[in-house]
Amino acid sequence: MSTDQAQAAVPSPWWAVARSEEVTGQKPLAVDIGGQAVVLWRDKQDVARALEDRCPHRRAPLSLGCVRDNGWIQCGYHGWSYDGETGRLKEIPNLKDQQKFPPLYRAIAFGVYETGGFVRVNLDAKTPPPRVSAKTYRLNGTAHIGVDHQNYLDALFDDPGLVVDIKGVRFTPYLMSELVVQDGMLTMERSCEWASKIWPAPFSSDFLLTILSRTHPETGETDLILRDSDLAELLRVHLSPVPAARGVTAVRWRAELGERSPPLPHSLSWGAEPFSARSSVDAAALRVLKPSVSLRSGELRAVLKSQTPAQVA
């Protein structure tokens, strides 16, 4: 199989564009995947639906409309209503009883899949959803940051502290395991220390914490696991950066504390939430951030892209 054929065979990715709580049957939610505007809502059966956020009648955003009692989405401009599963036009207000429309009369429907507290969308509705179920972490949040998706992932690899924050934890530049491909995921482990520690990292003989990260090579969805020196899990995070419009990255995350609590005086559970995704970046620090892990990730992603899906798996 040629490289081109292999790339053509790579399935379209599932993007975690919303947390489950954000998608409701009360009000449509506008998100985007790169330049593609998407509207999300829940139908009468509480199933999340996704259509192109563009009414095919006069191109108004469907997200400015409403969700009807029967679960259809209704454009706010002329009231055309669409079924979420197929995208087909179901009703035009003034047409009264003549509500039969040719198949052409439809909005573009996207694939939707919900697991682990995230609503995932695939721009190719024919892509089958992955057969995985994930635990839904209780803590969650959304941030939008003015860094494009690629630079966001590069920063996450080179200095996670620029884009995420774990309360009381400082990321160090020292890796316990450099970036490799494991089960199709870009995997690495970084040494961390408690932020209260005064002794500088370069002079530490041992680090009490590490953070294990597993990143999807295309979407950048990342699992972060903070562990202590006994390899006990202190915090688990699922981070989902999605390329949004105008070079913004939309970051949704869910987290939960591990079984073991950190020793006093350190605590991940006091006061503010233990994890947050930053909504702004220290641009001066980002500008001078040396690419290191990100160089390796670029190489590995290129290799993965040249492989068939079967080889990746």
Q: Report the alpha-carbon angle 174-175-180, nearest 5.
A: 155
Nearer to other proteins, 77 or 174 (CB): 77
Type of residue numbered 300 = L
CB of 101 to other proteins, least distance (A): 7
Please give the Cα distance from 2 to 148 (Å, whole number). 31
CB 207 within 8 A of CB 172: yes
Nearer to other proteins, 123 or 153 (CB): 123
Binding site for other proteins (CB under 8 A): 54, 56-61, 64, 76-79, 89, 92-95, 98, 100-102, 104-105
Nearer to other proteins, 31 or 169 (CB): 31
CB of 112 to other proteins, least distance (A): 22
CB of 98 to other proteins, least distance (A): 6
Write down how long the chain is.
313
Nearer to other proteins, 81 or 172 (CB): 81
CB 30 within 8 A of CB 37: yes
Q: Phi and psi dihedrals of 75, rounded to 5?
A: -65, 140
CB of 100 to other proteins, least distance (A): 8
**Ramachandran category for residue 308: left, alpha or beta (phi over 0 → left; psi -120 to 50 → alpha):** beta
CB of 244 to other proteins, least distance (A): 16
Nearer to other proteins, 92 or 181 (CB): 92
Kind plus residue range of the DSSP H or E element containing 284: helix 283-288
